[in-house]
């Protein structure tokens, strides 16, 4: 899987009686894009926050290239949180340059890097706008620039594609791919599985705080004995099931779900 990069082993964390992480493992090699997947409440955000140092953990190890993940290394992490936070009365370029200064860059370098990243995220024409004047999608572009302005070694992105339009998704995908090509380790969570499949070399899946599977998308699909077919009806759902399909609990929006054995040709069964 290449160079060591980030290695998380046996990470555990409790919040009172709630077990958020229960022996989570994750590896993000240098120069790779890794998808970090799981249902809501699986522990993805807690694990990411532990990596960047925003929450403590009860047990486990976090290492970068074989060394403990300490404050010096964490200063070279770029983090995009799921819940965004910016200074609404600052202007776009001003905000990015300010965060670059907080990350340790001198004033001229911070301004230069802010120029570069404001352009790369497609906000050159909005560089002098107040943050509060931007759309949610453009605010997210600013947050991405903030996460990358100090040239991190490891990039941790929590649901980075949420709320983005197709153009912004394409821009972000290109940036992430370019980062990995330059040797940066990138891990991101997402519920948009098509993007995960297109971007990632490896995927780690967790549930209830524990790692359940790791591998390429192809490998993980090969391990599964079933596929889920979801059907949305224009009107009332008929009494129908695909050949060989087992009905599952209907979704709240009325869609019907079936479990199918693999391999399966969905076009043939419907």
1 occurs within a structural domain = no
Q: What pLDDT, on the 0 to 100 scale, is given for residue 185? A: 97
Helix %, strand %, coil % of the chain (to 5)? 35, 30, 40
68 occurs within a structural domain = yes
The model's pTM: 0.81
- CA angle (166, 146, 192) in 5-degree steps: 30
Residues 186 and 229 in one domain: no
Residues 145 and 256 in one domain: no
131 occurs within a structural domain = yes
In DSSP notation, 62-74 reads EEETTEE--HHHH
121 occurs within a structural domain = yes
Residues 44 and 163 in one domain: yes
Q: What pLDDT, on the 0 to 100 scale, is given for residue 89? A: 95
Segment-wise mean pLDDT, segments of 10 residues, the chain, 270 residues:
84 96 96 94 96 96 95 94 87 97 95 97 96 92 95 96 88 95 96 88 93 86 66 63 60 67 59
Residues 209 and 258 in one domain: no
Number of separate domains in the chain:
2
Residues 245 and 214 in one domain: no
Helices (H) and strands (E) in the chain, counts: 9, 13
Range of 233's domain? 225-269
Q: Considering all CA atoms of the chain, what is the largest pairwise distance in Å, rounded to the nearest integer?
A: 68
Residues 167 and 252 in one domain: no
Residues 21 and 148 in one domain: yes
58 occurs within a structural domain = yes
Q: What pLDDT, on the 0 to 100 scale, is given for residue 193? A: 83
Residues 78 and 209 in one domain: yes
Residues 202 and 98 in one domain: yes
211 occurs within a structural domain = yes
Q: What pLDDT, on the 0 to 100 scale, is given for residue 1? A: 43
- CATH number for 57: 3.40.50.300
- Cα of first residue to Cα of last residue in the chain, in angstroms, is 39
Interstrand relation of 59-64 and 18-28 (parallel, antiparallel or unpaired): unpaired
Cα separation, 25 vs 178, in Å, equals 26
């Amino acid at each position: 899987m290449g160079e060591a990069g980030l290695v998380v082993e046996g990470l555990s964390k409790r919040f009172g009686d709630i077990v958020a992480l229960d022996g989570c493992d994750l590896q993000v090699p240098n120069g790779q894009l890794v998808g970090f997947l799981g249902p809501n409440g699986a522990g993805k955000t807690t694990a990411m926050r532990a990596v960047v140092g925003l929450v403590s953990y009860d047990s486990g190890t976090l290492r970068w290239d074989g060394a403990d993940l300490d404050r010096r290394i964490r200063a070279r992490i770029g983090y995009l949180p799921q819940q965004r936070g910016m200074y609404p009365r600052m202007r776009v370029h001003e905000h990015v340059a300010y965060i670059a200064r907080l990350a340790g860059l001198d004033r001229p370098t911070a301004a230069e890097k802010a120029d570069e990243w404001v352009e790369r995220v497609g906000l050159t024409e909005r560089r002098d706008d107040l943050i509060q004047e931007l759309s949610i999608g453009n605010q997210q572009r600013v947050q991405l620039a903030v996460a990358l302005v100090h040239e991190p070694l490891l990039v941790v992105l929590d649901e980075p594609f949420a709320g983005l339009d197709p153009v912004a998704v394409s821009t972000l995908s290109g940036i992430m791919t370019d980062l990995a090509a330059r040797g940066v380790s990138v891990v991101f969570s997402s519920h948009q599985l098509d993007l995960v499949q297109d971007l990632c070399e490896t995927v780690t899946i967790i549930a209830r705080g524990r790692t359940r599977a790791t591998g390429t998308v192809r490998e993980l699909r090969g391990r599964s004995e079933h596929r889920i077919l979801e059907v949305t009806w224009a009107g009332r759902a008929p009494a129908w099931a695909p050949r060989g399909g087992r009905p599952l609990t209907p979704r709240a929006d009325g869609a019907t779900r079936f479990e199918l054995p693999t391999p399966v040709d969905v076009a043939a069964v419907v």
